[in-house]
Chain A
Amino acid sequence: MELFLQFCINGLMLGMMYALVAVGFTLFFGVLDVIVFSHGDTVMIGAFGGLSMYWWLGAVYPGLSLTWTVLWVFLAAALAVTVVGTLVARFLIMPLRKAPPLNTLLATMMLGTVLREAIRLFFPDGSNPKPFPHLLPEWSWQSGSLTLRFDNALLFLSGAVMIVLVHLLITRTRLGMAIRAVAQDEEAAQLMGVNFTMIVLATFALGSVVAAFAGVMNGLYYNEINFGMGLLLGAIGFSAAVIGGLGNIYGAILGGFIFAFLQTLGAVALPFASAYKDVFAFGSVIALMAVRPTGLIAEPSSQRV
């Protein structure tokens, strides 16, 4: 029973990270009908941005309290990724709007490689895995084979809060209304006086902030980041968004948790070696797509985002 609970906790943590990445994919698709394949690497940029901030704080304000450090790290990550995200939107995604979707897909895939290699080459000693600092209190509670860690709980809760905030922003604010309007019909939205460029940039900024959060969360959870972490994370986030139904935020969250559940199941419950857990998880995604090509929560495009 304790073992089962531990598996559930591991799976939930993993699921939350996947969900945060998937939300980005689904936002971009919902608003612009594009798949931004470099999103996983944006997450990685967030983690490295946070780490740089931590180093800088350590050098300039050595005695800063942990709470402030964590806040600044998150802020730096969000800022770094928002800058990257809006630049990408303005100079790569928008100019390619009239091009076939395949071009955007390829361009963003290549951009992902550029981001990865840039960190590897220009970040100090970037080709090696970097230790990410322990910034959260390390209380833990043990019972048999179950270990509950306070920092994990904190990360999970803040992830949930992040998702709720995104939800509120989209459903309750004027900006959210504009985003939804553009997603439904960009021409009609423009006729109603919505500044299309601004909304696209705002959407990318929003998706990027969520990605930055996922990146720092990843760093705090594993205490290790590396330049290649975004690759698989991106593939998984995208799959999660697809099984949930691209364009639907709740679908992305659901998809993230489903993928984590499949991976955990693949690693522990299958009779054959755990080496096949990714094969199992991605295979299940293919099966799910065959059964429900539009995703689990498919909504008409008029209700996107």
Chain B
Amino acid sequence: MKTLFFTRALFVCLALLGLLMADPALAAKKSVKVGFIGPLTGGVSANGLGGRNSAELAVMERNEDPSAKFLYEFTALDDECKPNIGVQVGTKMGADRKVIGAVTHYCSAVALSVVDIYHRFGLPVIVWGAVQPDITYGNDYPEVMRICGTMINQNEEAAKFMRSQGYKKFAILHDTTDYGKSHKDFFSKYLTENGGEILGVFGVTSDQQDFTAELTKIKSLNPEVIYFGGLTPLGVRIRSQMDKLGIKAQFEGTSGIKSDAFIEGLGKNLAEGSLSFIEGTPTEKLPGGKKFLESYKSRNFSQGPEAYGAFAYAAMVRILDAIEAVGPDRKKVTATLNATKDVDTLVGKVTFDDHGQNIVPAISKYVVQDGVWVLWEDSEYGSGKRRLKH
């Protein structure tokens, strides 16, 4: 009897000791670095900062979670939306062996030039905002994955939608980066397949200020729609100069202009009725979207999450989950991330195909109504109360 008591007591003591040893609060957590790269300065920095804040939010939340195995250190680098800078910061991130995974790039031209580097350093990255297809489909790098969709889906949907609205004649403006050119290529392809007609194609440099020459020529072609494949700053200038020249055509953009900065830059009267198409469901309509937006707001970031913030957040959560599961090892994390299938995230179910591309089911259509981007289906344009320009 006595022996049994002692055995039990010893057992309990040992168990308690074991608990104490395992308690993460007592044993200091090992710190693990995770990274973010995006345009934090320059014309599209609004999107970059929104992405950075969102990714940082995921790290903050994880660090507040007592059950997390590691203490995460967040490091953000600025690619300035310039390929040469992107290569520098990508190398810096890859060479830092303490960084186990990163959420990278908003600008397609930058992402395209840096993917090789991530492969060389074996650093697993999830692209959060760049939509040019070749970033994932142009290589076989297991390290490179993408959580947002590609511009192929976006432009197919856009072309079909515009045709269904009865538009036939289009003029195309695009910036001459890989990003803008690909937008032009895919949109042209799907537009002509669906019976649309392209009256003219104009390439413009990505820092151009004056578009009156191109627009005057477009005016004489008299299109029903002016399609612009490029980012917000140029989108603002083109839409505003269309008005100056008295061009009455409908303005159609891509995911590149879906930002609050577009409306702010134009003022709500001019922005009214502009269209844009973007992968995924709007943040506020996502299952966890409300919680995300509230948590984002509670941290008092000085910029909003913008259109791709939710993607950056979801990508960072995926990386943190993978590190939690297999530990801070780049190879193992890469393998775990590659195997992502039907995982619930903020941006819906995520499945990476054999190129690491998330197969995003939905494309959302947006229209500016009274100074905000409104989902087409919810807008007065969608209900027929207001009409686009014809």
Contact = CB atoms under 8 A, between A and B. Distances in A.
Interface stretch (B91-99, B199-207, B278-286): B199-207
B41 interface: yes
Interface string B167-180: 00000000010000
Interface in B246-273: 246, 261, 264-267
A228 B212 contact: no
Contact of B207 (A6, A120, A128, A231): A231
Interface stretch (B134-142, B229-237, B332-340): B229-237
Given A129-B265, A232-B209, A275 B203 contact: yes
Contacts of A127: 41-43, 45-46, 49
A196 B181 CA distance: 54
Interface residues of B, number: 37
A130 B236 CA distance: 10
A3 B222 CA distance: 12
A7 B237 CA distance: 18
A267 interface: yes
B246 A268 contact: no
A102 B216 CA distance: 41
A274 B203 contact: yes
A273 B209 contact: no
B246 A142 contact: yes
A223 B43 contact: no
A140 B246 contact: yes
A131 B264 contact: yes
B232 A233 contact: no
Interface string B31-59: 00000000001110110010000000000
B266 A10 contact: no
Interface in A104-161: 117, 120, 125, 127-131, 140, 142, 145, 147, 149
B266 A131 contact: yes
A278 interface: yes
B236 A274 contact: no
A7 B217 CA distance: 9
Nearest to A141: B246
Given A10-B212, A128-B261, A223 B240 contact: yes
Interface in A248-305: 263-264, 267-268, 273-275, 277-278
A26 interface: no
Contacts of B201: 273
Nearest to B241: A222
Nearest to B268: A131
B244 interface: yes
B212 A224 contact: no
B354 interface: no
Contacts of A263: 210, 213
Contacts of B45: 120, 127-128
Contacts of B49: 127
Tell me whether chain B's interface is mostly helix, strand or loop, or mixed. helix
Contacts of A221: 244
Nearest to A267: B213
Contacts of A275: 176, 202-205
A211 B210 CA distance: 18
B185 interface: no
Given A127-B41, A145-B220, A226 B233 contact: yes
A14 B212 contact: yes
B21 to A, nearest CB: 49
A268 B49 CA distance: 38
B239 to A, nearest CB: 9
B212 A3 contact: no
Given A3-B220, A145-B219, A222-B241, A264 B203 contact: no
A179 interface: no
Contacts of B241: 222
Contacts of A223: 240, 244
Contacts of B207: 228, 231-232
A6 B216 contact: yes
B86 to A, nearest CB: 18
A89 interface: no
B43 to A, nearest CB: 6
A129 B240 CA distance: 12
A7 B215 CA distance: 10
B209 A229 contact: yes
Contact of B217 (A129, A147, A233, A267): A267
B273 to A, nearest CB: 17
B324 interface: no
Interface string B302-323: 0000000000000000000000
A148 B149 CA distance: 44
Given A127-B46, A142-B246, A222 B213 contact: no
Contacts of B380: none
Contact of A129 (B202, B214, B236): B236
Contacts of B43: 127-129, 226, 228
B245 interface: yes
A233 B266 contact: no
A131 B239 CA distance: 12
Contacts of A3: 216-217, 220
A131 B264 CA distance: 7
27 contacts: A6-B219, A6-B245, A10-B212, A10-B213, A13-B212, A14-B210, A120-B41, A127-B41, A127-B45, A129-B233, A129-B236, A129-B261, A129-B265, A131-B264, A131-B265, A145-B219, A224-B237, A226-B43, A228-B207, A232-B209, A233-B209, A268-B213, A268-B217, A273-B202, A273-B203, A274-B213, A274-B214
Pick the 8 closest A-B CB pairs, nearest first.
A275-B203, A267-B213, A10-B212, A147-B246, A129-B265, A127-B45, A128-B261, A275-B176
Given A129-B43, A224-B236, A267-B214, 18 more contacts: A3-B220, A10-B210, A10-B216, A13-B212, A117-B41, A128-B45, A129-B232, A129-B236, A131-B267, A223-B244, A228-B43, A231-B207, A232-B209, A268-B216, A268-B217, A274-B202, A274-B214, A277-B213
